[in-house]
């Protein structure tokens, strides 16, 4: 299902670009990385997970002075000990692969401000092995293996700003909100699989300093990003997520 969603996003990009290729376009290609901490809060169960790198491509197509299309995809792995969820009663080992992507059409409101709207896609796969902490009475407790395949897709919109400081140095900032519909397939090793519908809603914000290297037509930016969202399985189960950390992006622009 996730492959189908990513293919659909790619088709959306091509369907916008191809009809316009007879005109002059400014194309921006590059790479971005996010060194991000992950905090999870589910009532009495919470965890602060050490930072890991998420990384991926950053693309943009400028059609004219008012409109441009942007696409960013991030991927990373979080491997951690989940024992703190259960105050040491259980011994958990959790491996997670996470994806986060945004496709948006941007419209220039002012020399400094743009509004944007588009699609957001978030997903993760989780492999969790859990069992009671060994004791003298039970030195080799049974281990439970649970695999989860989770995704959400839906609309997002927000505001971005670019403010020149001096010469080729700029401050960049964005703020956006999103609402996603999705599904989670849970595959325990002790019973049949479960498909659970879910909703996710939250916001992203980031601020960075960017420098334009004119001879190389390249922009390098360094800053910070904060993402907060709630995964809602039903009216009683809500999981709060916070991702926050340092971003670094480099992009190159050319015309066709």
**Does residue 225 contact residue 217 with C-beta atoms inside 8 Å?**
no
Query: What is the set of domains in the chain, with CATH numbers?
Result: 2-255 (2.40.128.90)
Residues 6+ apart with CB under 8 A from 232: 198, 199, 200, 201, 238
The mean pLDDT values, 10 residues at a time, for the chain of 256 residues are 52 47 78 96 77 96 93 93 52 85 96 96 87 53 78 97 94 98 84 84 97 95 98 85 97 93
Q: What's the rounded Cα separation, in Å, for the pair 46 and 110?
A: 43
Per-residue pLDDT at 144: 74
Q: What's the rounded Cα separation, in Å, for the pair 36 and 226?
A: 9
Report the helix count and the strand count for the chain, using DSSP H and E.
1, 10
pTM as predicted? 0.83
- 208 Ramachandran zone, left/alpha/beta (phi>0; psi -120 to 50): beta
């Amino acid at each position: 299902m996730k492959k189908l969603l990513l293919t659909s996003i790619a088709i959306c990009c091509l369907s916008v670009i191809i009809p316009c290729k007879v005109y002059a376009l400014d194309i921006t290609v590059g790479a971005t990385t996010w060194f991000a901490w992950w905090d999870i809060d589910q009532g009495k169960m919470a965890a602060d997970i050490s930072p890991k790198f998420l990384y991926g491509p950053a693309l943009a197509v400028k059609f004219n002075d008012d409109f441009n299309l942007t696409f960013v995809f991030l991927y990373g792995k979080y491997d951690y000990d989940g024992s703190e969820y259960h105050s040491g009663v259980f011994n958990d080992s959790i491996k997670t692969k996470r994806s986060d992507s945004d496709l948006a059409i941007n419209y220039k409101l002012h020399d400094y401000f743009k509004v944007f709207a588009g699609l957001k896609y978030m997903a993760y796969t989780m492999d969790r092995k859990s069992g009671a902490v060994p004791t003298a009475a039970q030195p080799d407790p049974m281990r439970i293996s649970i695999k989860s395949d989770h995704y959400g897709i839906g609309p997002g919109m927000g505001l971005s700003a670019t403010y020149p400081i001096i010469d080729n140095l700029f401050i960049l900032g964005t703020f956006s909100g999103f609402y996603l519909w999705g599904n989670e397939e849970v595959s325990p090793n002790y019973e049949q699989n479960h498909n659970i519908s879910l909703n996710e809603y939250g916001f992203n914000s980031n601020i960075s300093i960017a420098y334009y290297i004119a001879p190389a037509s390249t922009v390098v930016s360094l800053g910070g990003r904060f993402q907060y969202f709630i995964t809602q399985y039903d009216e009683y189960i809500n999981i709060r997520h916070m991702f926050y950390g340092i971003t670094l992006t480099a992009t190159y622009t050319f015309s066709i």
